[in-house]
Amino acid sequence: MRRAWLLRASYFIWVIIPAGLYLLLQTAGTPHVIWSYDWRPLGPGSHGDPSRRYYIRCTYIGTTGALTEYPTDGTCGTIRFARPRRAAR
């Protein structure tokens, strides 16, 4: 008995890519890029050397809006992954 041509597994293999992307975004979150930051100098020459700055506020912008965080270690990343915010119940 022959299989129907609409039921081949190879026709549905493309579903794996969108499903995997959806799962990745739900677990890791969407990417947010640094938008602005506030910092304090750690001595002379820190205006020209970003490694000698202590960051006190980092604001990221992405698909879910702006995200502001206050780092405890004094560093801001370039990209941050954040999950979509859930509505308060």
Answer for the pair 10, 21: CB distance below 8 angstroms, yes or no.
no
Pick the range with the lowest mean pLDDT from 15-19, 34-38, 45-49, 79-83: 45-49
Percent of the chain with pLDDT over 70: 87
Query: Is residue 71 assigned to a domain?
Result: yes
For the residues 53-60, what does the mean pLDDT come to? Answer: 94
Give residue 55's domain range.
30-84
For residue 8, tell me if it sits in a domain.
no
Read off the amino acid at residue 8: R
Count of positions (residues) in the chain: 89
Is residue 70 included in any domain, yes or no? yes
Q: Give the whole-angstrom CA distance, residue 35 versus residue 17.
A: 30
The pTM (predicted TM-score) of the whole model is 0.69
